[in-house]
Structure 1
């Protein structure tokens, strides 16, 4: 655009420029927000964090190239799963307050566009993970398949869907170890077990305080289907299992995955913190208690992974 024409335009439309800029900014913000939402950016970044933590635990020498590939591949992998999920559940998402503003459910993004993103992310995720090693790509592909083709359809049929969903949910932590070692053994199995058992108190807490909203969409995520004593007991039991698995490496039975006594005490203490909130849910059975448990579980798994990594490098 010639400078003279630009000057005339700015002079004649001085008041409209601000509105135009605001509109453009809003459009850009909407596109960015929709991308974040279709890929569930916060969830995807937490998966990347878990994967990188697992890589640090397994790697004898840290390769920044592998870390970058793992982060990108992991993000694309989870982004693909979430995009497929939102396509499949678009009509049900529209019924729930929590999800009705998602891009596909609200109609801001077409199914074809979301499907293109999901397919592209699947190809990119598996390809990038394959450049690390074949096993990493295989587990990435398994994760996408289970989340999309098994967990998602089961959510409206049985509370057992949470057990299936816990498998892809537990893969990221051990995926990092496999990326570092090209081997699935007792070490990566332990990391998988830790995050697998953790999934249950975490997601049942979410299912508890979002019970009414999930009901609108026809989802029954709690093990008994109700906010009752039976569900609260299972939350307690799986929290205890999580704590027990988390300290197993201190006994020297998990190969190269080790934990010092000091780190084990810290890890156990963090577990007791989460158990305290699980007990509170059992006693009170309120949405507030469930929210507190959910938040404490997020803090717990994050700090556990940090403690594991720090312990490895200072031991």
Structure 2
């Protein structure tokens, strides 16, 4: 049964029809509205739940207020990146009360099947590739880099979108060109690095290192304009590190869901990552400490108290 609290299953919302659920977000279109539905044509309601995913699994546990934090932080970043077209139409007017604070009415886009990733520091899957070939997504990097090393200038390291439950696959820039064409590929790379460069400077002023981030773009059906969609620069789509604790050569303390990943792969969870068994529910203390990290990332970046 669908819930109406926005925390787990997609809630039933008057005036909207649920059409899709991702790992975290639920999408709705106006009820009974077709493509020629006047002011409602081409609009979609994007609701951020409190679900959390790790290692391509949606966990049974939720993180209280996570959806609100993701939405409010994305809106703050959209304001900081006002020079880049984005899909937000409204975050207040027309939002159903049941999902207030965690939803946006957005322009529907023709999304490009590419995860646009900018890396300014070497870690994660990029580090794993580098240790084998001294490359990331086919881009050669200098010798001698370690976990957490800064990459200057930042690099565009795209991946191909995978079906839910499957791993996104790192791809080369040439593969992006083959997928969307050279002009669009150039825009995706340029805009992704522009977003990262701007956000990295903003975060650094607040004592936070933006190690890498994933953004998604689509084409406005009416104009063809490449437009920033989905979320932007949240702890779900980015690695945020505490600059005061930064020390290359090891894993960095983070403000994202790495705390959940670390617990899942620890002996305490009893879970075998590459087995067919779904991950266990998170203990209350892991839920609480994960929520604290999300709240802290919001408050340190925006300078505002999360309520």
Which structure is higher in strand share? 2
Which structure is higher in helix share? 1
For normalisation by structure 1, the TM-score amounts to: 0.25
Structure showing greater radius of gyration is 1
